[in-house]
């Protein structure tokens, strides 16, 4: 039975504040009210602009990004999530418009972020509409992404910038783009994409983790030999520290890889990451931006990392029977995000969550709303209720 009545997007508009210990139906209704503000401000700003999707706030004003930005797919993805949660056709209409704006990214071979951009928008849309055009965009994007695969390294190249630092950089974030490749194999029957994704995951498993279980952000490979040259960070506190969102990408990525392959080594890593997080997260479950940041507890939190972790934990709980600790941790983080990290309705241009951290070392997007935090928060809500 569907827990979410189709009319939830329209109810509870007179409610004041977010409240605490809210039932999920109320959370959805409140999110619908808040996100209507985001749609309003975004659509006003998009007109006659080359910038198509909201990313964050700067001095209280909405920041829009071009379709090539790695975050451009999260806004249409959120609209698809709201359609799935509410069954209100208005969200579908908005999602179709926002998704169409980034279709050209299917041919952008200068980036590894195809999963973030295309799968989180067109992929969500395809799941809900079975639109053949969306299928074609997904497959085209996977072909484009596959051009970044280096057989000697066994991975997809992440970045083309900072060539003075790295010859062939692979970042932990790239684990999430593998879902696009898995999808392409299912849609076409061509196992090439699947094999690339598994190879990349295996190399990440082999090279991206320290003995203590913490992850490195950037691995620099020799593109000719596949040898590891450096283990670095770009957004974490230090090369040997564990950047919170990187650890979140890791548990999410290996959980997804287990779902797609059934390979026990990926499940083992996902469960090891769960144990690592269980021992190191603060009491409310919302991570500081880096687990080794020098002045904890006087460091910024990262709600975006927490939202990614929560979504991963709910899926892992669904995949692994008889391990209640998984859902207990997911529920603890979800409760904290809902009760203590959401913006008041009508504020912050309609973003759902506050207190995320983009890149603390670059003093960029610190303690602000971030569009991907909202995306993974809603995805976690869907997974919590068996909707994904």
Whose tokens are 């959980």? That residue is 255
CA nearest neighbour of 142 among 100, 101, 173, 185: 185
Using an 8 Å Cβ cutoff, are 119 and 41 in contact?
no
Helix (H, G, I), strand (E, B) or coil at 23: coil
Domain regions of the chain by residue span? 6-384
More confident residue, 1 or 288: 288
Supply the CATH classification number for the domain 6-384: 1.50.10.10
Whether the predicted pLDDT of 7 surpasses 50: no
- Res. 67 pLDDT band, cuts 50 70 90: very high
Whether the predicted pLDDT of 322 surpasses 90: yes
d(CA 212, CA 260): 27
pTM over 0.85: yes
Whether the predicted pLDDT of 284 surpasses 50: yes
Determine what percent of the chain is predicted with pLDDT higher than 70: 94
- Res. 48 pLDDT band, cuts 50 70 90: confident
Determine what percent of the chain is predicted with pLDDT higher than 90: 91
Phi and psi for 367 in degrees, rounded to 5? Answer: 60, 55
- Give the model's pLDDT for residue 49: 80
- Give the model's pLDDT for residue 387: 85
Classify 56 in phi/psi space as left (phi over 0), alpha (psi -120 to 50) or beta. beta
- Give the model's pLDDT for residue 5: 31
Active centre residues (catalytic): 113, 173
Whether the predicted pLDDT of 289 surpasses 90: yes
CA nearest neighbour of 240 among 268, 220, 211, 269: 211
pLDDT in tens, 15-45: 333 334 568 999 999 999 999 999 999 999 9
Whether the predicted pLDDT of 2 surpasses 50: no
d(CA 318, CA 295): 36
Using an 8 Å Cβ cutoff, are 81 and 120 in contact?
no
Average of per-residue pLDDT values in the chain: 94
pLDDT in tens, 161-204: 888 889 999 999 999 999 999 999 999 999 999 999 999 999 99
- Give the model's pLDDT for residue 18: 37
Tokens in use for 2?
């569907």
Using an 8 Å Cβ cutoff, are 290 and 278 in contact?
no
- Give the model's pLDDT for residue 16: 30
């Amino acid at each position: 039975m569907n827990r979410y009545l189709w009319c939830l997007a329209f109810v509870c508009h007179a409610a004041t504040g977010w409240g605490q210990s809210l039932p999920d139906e109320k959370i959805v209704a409140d999110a619908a009210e808040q996100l209507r503000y985001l749609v309003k401000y975004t659509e006003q700003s998009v007109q006659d602009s080359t910038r198509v999707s909201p990313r964050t706030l700067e001095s209280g004003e909405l920041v829009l990004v071009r379709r090539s930005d790695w975050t451009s797919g999260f806004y249409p993805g959120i609209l698809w999530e709201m359609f799935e949660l509410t069954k209100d056709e208005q969200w579908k209409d908005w999602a179709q418009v926002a998704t169409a704006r980034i279709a050209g990214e299917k041919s952008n071979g200068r980036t590894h972020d195809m999963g973030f951009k295309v799968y989180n928008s067109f992929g969500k849309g395809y799941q809900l509409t079975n639109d053949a055009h969306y299928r074609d965009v997904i497959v085209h994007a996977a072909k484009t992404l596959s051009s970044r695969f280096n057989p000697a390294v066994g991975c997809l190249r992440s970045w083309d910038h900072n060539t003075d630092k790295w010859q062939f950089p692979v970042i932990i974030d790239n684990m999430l783009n593998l879902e696009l490749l898995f999808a392409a194999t299912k849609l076409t029957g061509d196992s090439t994409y699947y094999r690339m994704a598994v190879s990349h995951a295996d190399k990440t498993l082999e090279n991206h983790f320290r003995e203590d279980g913490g992850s490195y952000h950037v691995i620099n490979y020799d593109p000719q030999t596949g040898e590891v040259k450096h283990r670095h960070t770009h957004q974490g506190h230090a090369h040997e520290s564990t950047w919170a969102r990187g650890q979140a990408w890791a548990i999410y990525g290996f959980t997804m890889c287990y779902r797609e392959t059934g390979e026990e080594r990926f499940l083992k890593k996902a469960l090891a990451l769960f144990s690592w997080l269980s021992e190191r997260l603060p009491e409310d479950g919302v991570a500081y931006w880096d687990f080794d940041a020098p002045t904890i507890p006087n460091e910024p939190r990262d709600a975006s990392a927490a939202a990614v972790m929560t979504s991963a934990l709910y899926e892992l709980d669904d995949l692994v029977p008889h391990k209640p600790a998984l859902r207990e941790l997911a529920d603890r983080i979800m409760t904290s995000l809902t009760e203590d990290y959401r913006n008041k309705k009508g504020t912050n241009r309609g973003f759902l969550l506050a207190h995320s951290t983009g890149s603390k070392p670059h003093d960029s997007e610190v303690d602000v709303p971030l569009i991907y935090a909202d995306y993974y928060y809603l995805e976690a809500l869907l997974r919590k209720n068996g909707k994904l």
